[in-house]
Chain A
Amino acid sequence: MRLTAILSMAAKAAFPKDYRYGTSRPWTIAAKRLNPPGKKRRKMFIEPIAYEDWSVFKGDTVEILSGKDKGKQGKVAQVFRHRNWVILDGLNTHFRYIGKTADYRGTYIASEAPLLIRDISLVDPTDRKPTEVEWRFTEEGEKVRVSLRTGRIVPKPVFQRRDGIVPQQWKDGPKDTSPEETLEKTYTPSLKTLEEEVMEKLGIEEPRRNRKTYWY
């Protein structure tokens, strides 16, 4: 009872309500080291931002308003909504050693620190200066971000897949169905199941029926 109960409890309440999220993903060893199951930390107060009002996405160009790299513009590499964090490529860095062994001191690399949404501002694409952004609807009904200073639309960054595939430039392999063949409508709606249709087509007759079974 004990082991399975504990395993099910561990699987269900995976992250308690007051779990302090960090920059590592919660299932990695580094995060488990920082937040072992019984640990309780002081409550972290984060500004609540509604899902519809979130304006910064991965791939956006933003400018830093305060901190070490104040005034610099960079591309957003990662967004953490639960802590209102944003990690930019190569900005707001500190240095550390990685891959240290007993005799090797490790590689000295620059690692980025997260920035709060408050210290970040989206950049207007036309004049490349930081602006306040609001969500508004276009005439077609699309929800877009509009910069309040100039009134121009800030387009959403193009979503890039993790595996690097650009769907429009994909070359079909030998086992790929082409888009035209996939979108062909050959389905005629009928109330028969697939098995009944196949039997009809192949002319299979099955007059035998299953014997009635009972279980108690």
Chain B
Amino acid sequence: MGVLNALRRGIVRGADRMAEFTSKRGSRTHYKGRGAQPTGVLTSSRKFVPIQAMIPQFVVPDLEGFRLKPYVSYRTPVGTEPAVTPEGLFSEAVAQQIQKDFEEGSFDKEQLEKYGFEPTQEGKLFKLYPKNFI
């Protein structure tokens, strides 16, 4: 048998060992989930107790007077706003305050927290890195 023929036979007849072993494969007794987050606790008597805090809830502010709709009209001109960059956000949110303080003379390198600087992400509910919210 030539090399190419053997290769072809291997391709056609060989099993795919690198495929993902999902819950659809395996025997009847094989139990595997698909990665859903648990919403409760399984007790020793094999009863499932749902915990309200683990069930996700949508927090939606009051949409009274909210005029934006799901879709945008085709007549809107494209590219009217520049993309938001970290430099742009800094210059809009923080830079002016820093400049004002520097001109007054009250700018202190050790007290950057009043401009929004966070030395660590410890103790925060929504950490930016490693990102713990979606």
User: Which residues, 83 to 101 on B, are CB-close (under 8 Å) to A?
Assistant: 89, 92-94
Chain B residues whose CB sits within 8 angstroms of the CB of A175 once the complex forms: 69-71
The answer to whether A181 and B67 touch across the interface, beta carbons within 8 angstroms, is yes
B132 interfacial by beta-carbon distance below 8 Å? yes
Looking at B21-29, B31-39, B41-49, B72-80, the stretch in contact with chain A turns out to be B72-80
Does B19 lie within 8 Å of A3, measured CB to CB? yes
Min C-beta distance of B31 to chain A, whole Å = 22
Q: How far is the CB of B89 from chain A (nearest CB, A)?
A: 6
Q: Which residues of B contact A177 (CB under 8 A)?
A: 67-69, 71-73
Count B interface residues, CB 8 Å: 32
Of B11, B61, B68, the contact of A202 (CB 8 Å cutoff): B61
Does A1 make an interface contact (CB < 8 A)?
yes
Which residues 184-216 in A have Cβ within 8 Å of B in the complex?
Answer: 189-191, 193, 195-196, 198-199, 201-202, 204, 206, 209-210
Question: Does A4 count as interface, using CB distance less than 8 angstroms?
Answer: yes
Interface membership of A2, Cβ < 8 A:
yes
A174 contact set on B, CB distance < 8 A: 69
Pairwise interchain contact B94-A191, C-beta atoms closer than 8 A: yes
Contact of A176 with B93 at beta-carbon distance under 8 Å, contacts A1-B16, A3-B19 already known: no
Contact of A196 among B14, B75, B89, B126 (CB under 8 A): B126
Measured between alpha carbons, how far is A168 from B89 in the docked complex, in Å? 33
B125 touches A (CB below 8 Å): yes
- Residues from chain A with a CB closer than 8 A to the CB of B17 are 1
Q: Is B56 on the interface with A (CB-CB < 8 A)?
A: no
CB distance from A195 to the nearest CB of B (A): 5
Q: Does B11 contact A176, Cβ atoms closer than 8 Å? A: no
Interface size class of A (residues with CB under 8 A): 35 or more
A6, B76: Cα distance in complex, Å: 45
Determine whether the beta carbon of B19 is less than 8 Å from that of A191.
Answer: no
Other-chain contact of A176, B16, B69, B133 (Cβ < 8 Å): B69
Q: How far does the alpha carbon of A181 sit from the alpha carbon of B77 in the complex, in Å?
A: 12
Task: Report B-chain residues with C-beta under 8 Å of the C-beta of A176.
Answer: 69, 71-73
Closest to A193 in B: B126
Contact between A179 and B126 (Cβ–Cβ < 8 Å)? no
- Whether A183 pairs with B80 at a CB distance below 8 angstroms is yes
Whether a CB of chain A sits under 8 angstroms from the CB of B116 is yes
CB–CB A189/B89 < 8 A: yes
Q: Check if A182 is an interface residue, CB within 8 A of chain B.
A: yes
- Shortest Cβ distance from residue A71 to the other chain B in the assembled complex, whole angstroms: 40
B18 engages A4 (CB within 8 Å)? yes
- C-alpha spacing A204/B67, complex, angstroms: 25
Known: A2-B10, A179-B77, A195-B126. A210 touches B18 (CB 8 A): no
Query: Which chain B residues have a beta carbon within 8 Å of chain A's beta carbons?
Result: 10-11, 14, 16-19, 59, 61, 67-77, 80, 89, 92-94, 116, 123, 125-126, 128, 132-133
Closest 9 CB pairs of A and B: A189-B92, A170-B74, A3-B16, A167-B74, A179-B76, A191-B116, A189-B93, A177-B69, A176-B73
Complex A-B: 17 CB contacts under 8 Å: A2-B11, A3-B11, A4-B16, A4-B18, A165-B74, A172-B73, A176-B69, A177-B73, A179-B77, A182-B76, A189-B89, A189-B93, A193-B126, A193-B128, A193-B133, A196-B126, A209-B123
